[in-house]
Structure 1
Amino acid sequence: MTLPRFDARDFAAATPEMIAAFARDGVLVLENYASVAECDAMKARMAEITTGFDPDAHRTVFSATADEPSRDRYFLESATDIRFFFEAGAIDAGGNLTHPLNVAINKVGHALHTLDPVFSAFSNSAKMMGLAKALGHAKPDPVQSMYIFKQPEIGGEVVCHQDATYLWTEPQSVLGFWLAVEDATEENGCMWAIPGAHAGDAPKERFRRTGDTGTYTETLDASPFEEEKKVPLAVPKGTLIVLHGLLPHLSGPNLSPRSRHAYTVHVVDGAAHYPADNWLQRA
């Protein structure tokens, strides 16, 4: 299956064709949504942010595999901060870094969209909020952001999942806005998705918070995703991929010598109920 792609170089508003494609596929691919200069500014700003991080302060590893343990306090308190998470392949059994800092970090999150001016300007732009409204949000509310490095040779796998699992609203409303800050290819770990699998489906899991540091994953539907139907979302730098909250998607490890930087914002509808047992709590 080949997904439609739209040129968003002069994007002003979502067209009927874009809205129809999103409703059908659960994914929208907008090439040239961000300029080369915008992508380069994000990459440069992230380099500044990581330069100011002391890796001895925290060595929290982020892993998105199926046997992932409960999150720690450092992760759970990241909703209102900018925090750093390492690749599993960059830290040895003794907790020592095996790679330079700039190629050891898995991601930085989760409040870039509120605390950093470069990322806030992109995340809260009238263009993005208008797109969220066109896709059904009454009150678009960016709640989470992260800069993902997908480091060369050690960039970790992200197993097939639905974003609604982690950012639950009633009714379901989360949208993922994923920007390719660098070219994303099959070789360096591009995203894959199962088009149309969001339609009429329900979340298979719900990631719940218990107290200050506890979490658990509740299984709602044990049937597997139909991963044999997945298609690659290999896209050039500057492309924005919009994901429905129930759309199954994943990415493989990056075994290539090239990184695959991306910036992601998750937006919920402020008109929907946001439960107190979501892992991410801003207050």
Structure 2
Amino acid sequence: MAAAPPPPLPTQGLTPAQLAAFHRDGYLILPNVLSPATTAALLAETHSLLTSFDLASHPMTRFSTGGDDGGEHVGDDYFLTSGDKIRFFFEQDAVDPATGQLTKPKHRAVNKIGHALHALSPPFARLLAHHDGAGEAGAGAGAGAGEANAPAAAAPPSPAAIARSLGFRDPRCLQSMVICKQPEIGGAVPPHQDSTFLYTEPPSAVGFWYALEDATLENGCLSFAPGSHKWAPISKRLVRKQGNAGTEMVPNTGSQFPPGDEYSAANTNTNEKDTEYVPGQVKAGSLVLIHGNLLHKSEKNLSQKGRIIYTFHLIEGRDADRVYDERNWLQPPDGGFTRVYAATS
């Protein structure tokens, strides 16, 4: 009889230094969180999805982040009903506007795969379900300037362990995506805040952004406005139009910051237009944590090298702490959003 495999190595959460860096900057870069084997498995799953989806039945939906009014943001039925499915959204420049046909092979034309990879794709689901080592002794290296190294003697922090460190009581994963910044045509993403699109009252979203390939200045790495999560309010929300007839950007009449004295537009007189952005070049296997109020962006990929990443978002699921309303473009599937661990009191 074969011996049972050893239990997974318990992981620790963020160290005090890492937490301080995240709260100061609004983002945190953690190198080497994914092993080479896990990174390769997620890339293989991505390439399998990109080559196997049915183009003949696809509505040719292109992804767009939209302008300030959200009028150009993707909002058709294919998008609005994607919360519990795996669907494919093309780059704007991958579709010929005159013919509606792709100008690139389909695997080189997709901007995004979403939004339920964490629930429907076994390799991506395993990443979210990774053991968090709750109750284990913590240790780890310190962080500086938004970057920290995982300790050599322990497994890198899992999503659940990180969520515990950030104070989530009932973290729920509500969407997940592979984003392919395709060679030559990978579109730029303007400055934005994730809580604009995934709003809770008050805001609670945190993004987990895993590099499956190196992200560089040449292929459109992320750039961040450090500290902007403390002064940049969630002034707008992307919501469903009445009758589910697309999406629109509307003024946010609810809370614009998470709870806490450190969050307030009065913290600084910084003008968003004058904000300096810091590039976040990372190697494959790195994890970037992104506060929901943080301003961040990426440039167009004009290089010959693609940039594939996997990202999901957590929100606080306790109704007493955060309310996720029916106006959000993404609505929970039957059974609710995916629970990361049992709720705590």
Structure 2 length-normalised TM: 0.76
In the alignment, structure 1 residue 159 sits paired with structure 2 residue 190: yes
The match for 1:246 among 273, 293, 296 is: 293
1:281 paired with 2:331, answer yes
- State the aligned residue count: 273
Mapping for residues 1-283 of structure 1, pairs under 5 Å: 12-58=12-58, 59-66=60-67, 68-69=72-73, 71-93=75-97, 94-125=99-130, 126=132, 127-210=158-241, 211-220=243-252, 225-226=272-273, 228-271=275-318, 272-283=322-333
Distance in 2 (CA, whole Å) between partners of 1:227 and 1:133 is 35
| 2-structure distance, mates of 1:70, 1:115 | 23
CA contact (8 A) 1:152 1:256 kept: yes
What SS class does the counterpart of residue 229 from structure 1 fall into? coil
Q: Give the match for residue 4 of structure 1.
A: none
* Contact 2:65–2:74 (8 Å) recurs in 1: no
Matches of 1:122 and 1:60, distance apart in 2:
28
Amino acid in the other structure paired with 1:282: P
Q: Distance in 1 between matches of 2:230 and 2:73?
A: 30
Aligned-residue CA RMSD in angstroms? Answer: 1.7
Structure 1 pair 85–227 and aligned structure 2 pair: CA distance change class (3 A): farther
How far 1:51 moved relative to its partner? 2.2
Q: Cα distance 1:200–1:120, how it changes in 2: closer, same or farther (>3 A)?
A: same
Structure 1's unaligned 5+ residue stretches are 1-9
Superposed CA deviations along residues 49-108 of structure 1, whole A, max 9, x for unmatched, are 222211121211002242624510100000010000001111102111110111111110
Alpha-carbon shift at residue 164 of structure 1 (Å): 0.4
Displacement of 1:162 in angstroms is 0.3
- Quote the offset at 1:203 in angstroms: 0.4
Higher alpha-carbon deviation: 101-110 or 121-130: 121-130
Give me the identity figure in percent: 44
Structure 1: how far apart are the matches of 2:13 and 2:75?
Answer: 38
Structure 1 stretches of 4+ moved >3 Å: none
Report the Cα distance in structure 2 between the residues aligned to 1:137 and 1:206, rounded to whole angstroms: 23
Q: Where in structure 2 are there 5+ consecutive unaligned residues?
A: 1-9, 133-157, 257-269, 334-345
User: Quick check: 1:72–1:213 contact (8 Å CA) kept in 2?
Assistant: yes
Deviations 1:99-132 (A, max 9, x none): 0111111110000001111101112323201201
